[in-house]
A = this chain, B = another copy of it.
């Protein structure tokens, strides 16, 4: 990434991290346990790609993105909820996440479950508060809630997780894997880009945001699968080779390593082409290329 874009990237991350901390700053005494569990998982780091996409799409759509950091963070709340529940013993039973013990390894499982539940609901409170205080219009809030909730539900992220569970211990086709991933990880990435356009009041650009997200989302997942083979624990913050161990169908297991790399490159190039429809796209192009060569 170019030096100036790396600065922008870091600034976005800092603003997002600061905002995430402020969201869980207030901890009512008797409910402290769940608030701490939420904060623990929210502060575990991560690239903050999704809220960054909200803000960046808002910016390249001409919006004053600095007013909407809290709304952008809503996507990270949802993403974090999904990680907490994904790691639970009845799901992937993962002890590590982002290099630290999973939420339910630090807090009782019941509290981790409820922390996920609370993070699933909180975004809708935040977005509507932003309409009630006049930051966004009622109409924009309704559209944001609608986009986000559909991206989470049975026809979005949760649906993808279900397909993933149902696909365990059997080989699936490339088509099935594409659908699975377009829901499990793709839906939230797409929602991020669309929400950026909505905040900036540029619904006419949503179709570009969607096409960008479809390509980047799939490329992102293929790179994830590649990193599970080629990455390291130090860089990933979680054990590598877990997909192979669980005999999960991945892009690498279906397409092979070389073909996977080729396709993720093609998808990235396609995403870069779509970005040309936006002005001030230098940063987004750089981020898009970085996502292809990232090490975690």
A interface residues with partner B (beta carbon < 8 Å): 28, 30-31, 33-35, 38, 81, 85, 88-91, 108-111, 113-114, 116-118, 120-122, 124-125, 127-129, 131-132, 137-139, 141-143, 145-146, 148-150, 152-155, 158-159, 161-163, 165-166, 176, 179-180
Inter-subunit contact B146/A122 (CB<8 Å): no
Assembly CA distance A288 to B167 (angstroms): 49
Contacting residue for A118 out of B109, B138, B158, CB 8 A: B158
- Once A88-B113, A109-B90, A159-B28 are accepted as A-B contacts, the answer to whether A122 and B153 lie under 8 Å apart by CB is yes
Task: Determine the chain B residues whose CB is within 8 A of the CB of A113 once the complex forms.
Answer: 85, 88, 90-91, 113
If A124-B149, A145-B145, A149-B128 touch, does A165 touch B108 (CB 8 Å cutoff)? yes
Cross-chain contact of A138 among B31, B139, B159, B180 (Cβ < 8 A):
B139
Q: Is there an interface contact between A34 and B141, defined as CB atoms closer than 8 Å?
A: no
* A149: B residues at CB distance < 8 A: 121-122, 124-125, 128
Query: Secondary structure of the A side of the interface?
Result: helix
- Complex formed: what's the CA distance from A163 to B124 in Å? 23
Q: In this complex, which of A91, A138, A179 has the most chain B Cβ atoms within 10 angstroms of its Cβ? A: A138
Smallest Cβ-Cβ distance to A179: which chain B residue: B30
Q: Residue on B with the closest CB to A180?
A: B30
28 pairs, CB–CB < 8 Å, chain A vs chain B: A28-B154, A28-B155, A28-B159, A30-B163, A30-B180, A31-B163, A85-B114, A88-B90, A91-B110, A110-B165, A114-B161, A114-B165, A117-B117, A117-B120, A118-B158, A121-B149, A121-B158, A122-B153, A124-B145, A125-B150, A127-B145, A128-B145, A128-B146, A128-B149, A129-B146, A132-B142, A138-B141, A142-B142
Which B residues lie within 8 Å of A114 (CB)? Answer: 85, 158, 161-162, 165
How long is the Cα–Cα vector from A148 to B121 in the complex, in angstroms? 9
Which residues of chain B come closer than 8 Å to A117, judged between CB atoms? 81, 85, 116-117, 120, 152, 158
Q: Are A162 and B128 in contact (CB under 8 A)?
A: no
Residues of B within 8 A of A110 (CB): 90-91, 165
Q: What's the nearest-Cβ distance from chain B to residue A157, in Å?
A: 9
Indicate whether A33 sits within 8 Å of B142 (C-beta atoms), given known contacts A113-B91, A121-B152, A153-B122: no
The 4 closest A-B pairs by CB, nearest first: A138-B138, A90-B109, A128-B146, A125-B149
Q: Which residues of B contact A153 (CB under 8 A)?
A: 118, 121-122, 125
